[in-house]
Amino acid sequence: MKNNKIASTVIATVVCASFVQLASASVVTFTNKTLWNAYSANHGTSVSTETFNSLSGYYAGPVSGTADSSVWTASAENGLFAAAGLLQTNDPETMSFSFAGGVQGVSAYMFATDTSLNSAPSVMEVTLSDGSTYIGYSTSINDFVGFYSNGAAITSLTITATAVPGGPTAVYPTVDTMYFANVPAPGAIALLGLAGLVGRRRRN
């Protein structure tokens, strides 16, 4: 009887550990845009783009926008600054995004800039609503970071840039073009299925 209890405890522990691993592995991280696009497409999502080109100048409060069905809001404690399609914090601090509209994947060119919007070397830390975190060294405006959630929708992320030796002492988290992967609404899925059925009948 004692051995059975021990075996049951071990099995329960292994099962619990498995669930933890599955939960932590539900978000996939990318540093290559082509791979992120392919992964999103393979999971049946449609990708929409936010260029930030409609924004210009200083914003004391949050700024918002839409990209197809995705709704985003960006904010920073001391405001945001936008120019030439780049969105950065007004001070060297964390930039926060919140999302609505069923965002399963989000990606962007994320890097740090100096006061003149020139790329600056930095350590970038990006954290999602579920705690998933990417930390990497950034040196270029072409540095790409992307996430795809195989579980719950992504509802927020934060971006922090930390200065490194040899670079500017003040660096600002900056985003250039953000991409969203959304699962089509049930109505859209039904229409896609109907279109496929019609096409099959025509071929027959």
Q: Of all residues in the chain, what percent carry a pLDDT higher than 90?
A: 76
- Convert the pLDDT of each residue in 45-73 to its tens digit: 999 999 999 999 999 999 999 999 999 99
**Is the model's pLDDT at 193 over the cut of 60?**
no
Query: Dihedrals φ, ψ of 202, to 5°?
Result: -65, -40
- Looking at residues 83-107, what average pLDDT do you find? 97
- Convert the pLDDT of each residue in 114-132 to its tens digit: 999 999 999 999 999 999 9
CA angle 110, 114, 119 (to 5 degrees): 45
Q: What is the pLDDT of residue 160?
A: 98
Q: What is the pLDDT of residue 25?
A: 55
Can you point out the beta strands (E) in the chain?
A: 27-30, 46-50, 57-59, 63-67, 70-75, 80-83, 86-89, 95-100, 103-113, 119-120, 122-128, 133-138, 144-149, 156-163, 172-182
Task: Output the six-digit token pair for 8.
Answer: 């049951």
SS3 label, residue 129:
coil
- Looking at residues 170-195, what average pLDDT do you find? 74
Q: What is the pLDDT of residue 184?
A: 80
Poorest-pLDDT segment among 16-25, 43-52, 82-91: 16-25
Cβ-based neighbours of 192, under 8 Å, separated by 6 or more: 184
Cβ-based neighbours of 107, under 8 Å, separated by 6 or more: 30, 33, 36, 144, 145, 146, 147, 178, 179
Q: What is the pLDDT of residue 185?
A: 63
Q: Whole-model pTM?
A: 0.79
